[in-house]
Amino acid sequence: MEELLPHFPAFLLIVVRVTTFFVVMPIFSYRSIPVQHRVGLGIFLAWIMYYTIDAPVLELDVTFYLLIMKEALVGLFIGFAAYMILSAVQIAGGMIDFQMGFSIANVIDPQTGAQTPLMGEYLYTIALLFLLNTNGHHLLLDGIFYSYQFIPIDQLFMPFGDHALIEYLAKSFSKAFMIAFQMSIPVVGSIFLVDVTLGILARTVPQLNVFVVGIPVKIIAGLAVIILVMGSMMTVVTQLFNFLLLTMRQLMQLIGGG
């Protein structure tokens, strides 16, 4: 405690960055984890990180309060970027649901409380389990730990309005959307072929009620294709995880002025 008290303001700044990172970061921000546990984990990690970085001596003045706001913005910004990239799995599920006819039956995500596509929630749950199995959550924690190498505690001004930062965010989201399209294209393309076949049958066999037959046929075809290409989808999810870590690193470099 004698070593901590002179640097206690710096410790508070570390707590702010870590806890705000947990507010929006995947897995750790879910409502199924009690708030007390998240706050306790954030303080515990901040305590460990305090002894691994060169914490400066700060005065409790107006600059310190500005640094608190800066640390909160940094934590929220990095966590939101991670959540935005990982939400590509739900985007892919939304594309699949639209073609299969499940888009009219959204479900409530118990983790976030928002309405999500049915297949999007299914794929997102599998992706999170895959992330936990490969210790990807450890890499997310490494991201907030190594952020102090790019964004020091006493750095006051952040280039949040820089065009390079905004442009990189836009490119990251567009690439995440392309990854989502790669995940959904086998199912979407197969159901499109089913639609074409049903259209041909409707012209050749007018007695066939395509609207009644088409819905179960598309659902069965979509589920069959999902079972066949699930391994390929997980390969694309692996690319998504790598892109997620790369995006977090590049964002920290841009925010830190690198």
Residue 243 has pLDDT above 70, yes or no: yes
* 8-state DSSP, 157: -
Task: Inform me whether the pLDDT recorded for 127 exceeds 60.
Answer: yes
Which of the four pLDDT bands, split at 50, 70 and 90, describes residue 113?
A: low
pLDDT of 12 > 80? The answer is yes
For residues 41-69, give the mean pLDDT. Answer: 81
List the beta strands (DSSP E) in 147-229.
none
pLDDT at 258 over 60: no
Helix (H) or strand (E) holding 257: none
| Nearest Cα residue to 240 out of 104, 114, 102, 139 | 139
More confident residue, 123 or 111: 123
* Res 160 pLDDT > 70: no
- pLDDT range class, residue 121, cuts 50, 70, 90: confident
Residues facing 115 on adjacent strands:
108
SS3 205: coil
What is d(CA 106, CA 116) in angstroms, rounded to the nearest whole number?
A: 6
210-255 and 136-150 helices, crossing angle to 10°:
30
Radius of gyration of the chain measured on its C-alpha atoms = 23
Q: CB–CB of 154/56 below 8 Å?
A: yes
| Nearest residue to 85 via CA among 243, 212, 254, 197 | 243
Q: What is the mean pLDDT of residues 192-199?
A: 87
Residue 222 has pLDDT above 80, yes or no: yes
CB atoms within 10 A of CB 39: 14
Q: Where are the beta strands (DSSP E) in the chain?
A: 107-108, 115-116
Extents of the domains making up the chain: 5-255
pLDDT of residue 163: 76
The Cα–Cα gap between 164 and 171 comes to 10
